């Protein structure tokens, strides 16, 4: 019974949150105003941004082959590409269902054992997480003065320093607890951390580790460039600072995990990040919707075509 309730909540809560955030964004920027921004947007920049997003997805599909090859499976690039686009599309329905579908596609059409495919997807996510953390670290380094000034204007600097020290102490205490404790919770945390470390180290043990690392950096470089390029489609956002791009990109990236495909949460995340830099709410929310809509349109078209063409592409099997 509890398991059923839990599964139901995992599906319904992101949908309800997305609906609420859509309502919230439209309370800040009316639908009619949003339509005006879409009409006046420069679609040359939007198309270029979509092309960069397409390159990142194709690179992700190609990178996957480097992980499958050492397992003894020569997977067709076409199946890898269509599996990736199918993943993105299905994730708009049920959170993380796309990863299961992606593994199932390779199991059905390429004969790769399901558990092995899941293992490659987990390792891939670890690589992506490392790059995201790297982007966050670079952003904090480049924007340290701005972030510190922003926080000090709203909070007492002494309290900020005390808060950081307290967090460090709590982290050290928690680390020692996890290290020595034998409880189920501690063992799960240790298993998770060990899995992350093992997955990260496995990248450097790959036969083609440098091409894999190149594609990982290329994927996220294209994501970031897609975000930056698309800002040119809204006149009011021309010349926005690098800090706004980096923080906006990070905020928007995390928002995708909050709701199905970032619906509703993506524009609000962009707006929250841009507001730090005193960028007006109207173009910020409008840009968030333009960015999300253009990418979603690409995923719906290519993901839908992938699901339809997969059986045809593999008809001999």
DSSP letters spanning 101-150: HHHHHHHHHH---HHHHHHHHHHHHHHHHHHHHHHHHHHHHHTHHHHHHH
The whole-number pLDDT of residue 224 equals 95
Across the range 244-252, mean pLDDT stands at 92
Residue 182's φ and ψ, nearest 5 degrees, are -115, 15
Report residue 111's pLDDT band, with 50, 70 and 90 as the boundaries.
Answer: confident
Across the range 155-181, mean pLDDT stands at 78
Ranges of each domain in the chain: 27-312
Helices (H) and strands (E) in the chain, counts: 13, 0
The pLDDT mean for the chain works out to 85
11: pLDDT strictly greater than 70: no
Euclidean distance between CA atoms 221 and 214, whole angstroms: 10
Give the DSSP letter of residue 23. H
Provide CB contacts within 8 A for 132, sequence distance 6+: 220, 250, 253
Instruction: For residue range 177-210, list pLDDT tens digits in order.
Output: 777 777 777 777 777 676 666 656 666 667 788 8
The whole-number pLDDT of residue 18 equals 75
The whole-number pLDDT of residue 278 equals 86
Euclidean distance between CA atoms 34 and 212, whole angstroms: 40
Instruction: For residue range 30-87, list pLDDT tens digits in order.
Output: 889 999 999 999 999 999 999 999 999 999 999 999 888 877 888 899 999 999 999 9
Report residue 1's pLDDT band, with 50, 70 and 90 as the boundaries.
Answer: very low
The whole-number pLDDT of residue 142 equals 84
């Amino acid at each position: 019974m509890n398991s059923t309730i839990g599964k139901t909540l995992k599906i319904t809560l992101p949908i309800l949150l997305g609906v609420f955030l859509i309502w919230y964004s439209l309370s800040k920027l009316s639908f009619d105003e949003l339509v005006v921004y879409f009409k006046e947007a420069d679609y040359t920049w939007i198309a270029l941004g979509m092309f960069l997003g397409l390159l990142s997805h194709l690179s992700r599909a190609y990178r996957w082959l480097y992980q499958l090859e050492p397992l003894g499976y020569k997977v067709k690039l076409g199946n890898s590409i269509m599996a990736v686009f199918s993943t993105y599309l299905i994730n708009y329905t049920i959170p993380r269902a796309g990863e299961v579908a992606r593994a199932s596609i390779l199991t059905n059409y390429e004969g790769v054992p399901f558990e092995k495919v899941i293992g490659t997807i987990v390792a891939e996510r670890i690589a992506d997480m490392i790059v995201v953390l790297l982007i966050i670290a670079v952003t904090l380094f480049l924007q340290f003065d701005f972030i510190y000034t922003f926080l000090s204007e709203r909070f007492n600097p002494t309290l900020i320093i005390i808060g950081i020290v307290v967090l460090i102490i709590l982290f050290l205490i928690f680390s020692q607890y996890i290290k020595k404790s034998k409880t189920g919770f501690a063992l799960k945390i240790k298993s998770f951390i060990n899995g992350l470390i093992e997955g990260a180290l496995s990248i450097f043990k790959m036969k083609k580790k440098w091409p894999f690392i190149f594609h990982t950096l290329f994927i996220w470089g294209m994501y970031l460039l897609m975000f930056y390029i698309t800002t040119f489609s809204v006149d009011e956002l021309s010349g926005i600072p690098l800090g706004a791009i980096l923080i906006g990109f990070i905020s928007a990236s995390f928002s995708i995990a909050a709701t199905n495909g970032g619906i509703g949460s993506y524009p609000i995340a962009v707006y929250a990040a841009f507001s730090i830099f005193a960028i007006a709410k109207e173009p910020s929310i409008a840009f968030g919707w333009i960015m999300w809509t253009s990418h979603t349109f690409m995923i719906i078209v290519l993901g839908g075509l992938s699901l339809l063409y997969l059986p045809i592409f593999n008809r001999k099997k």
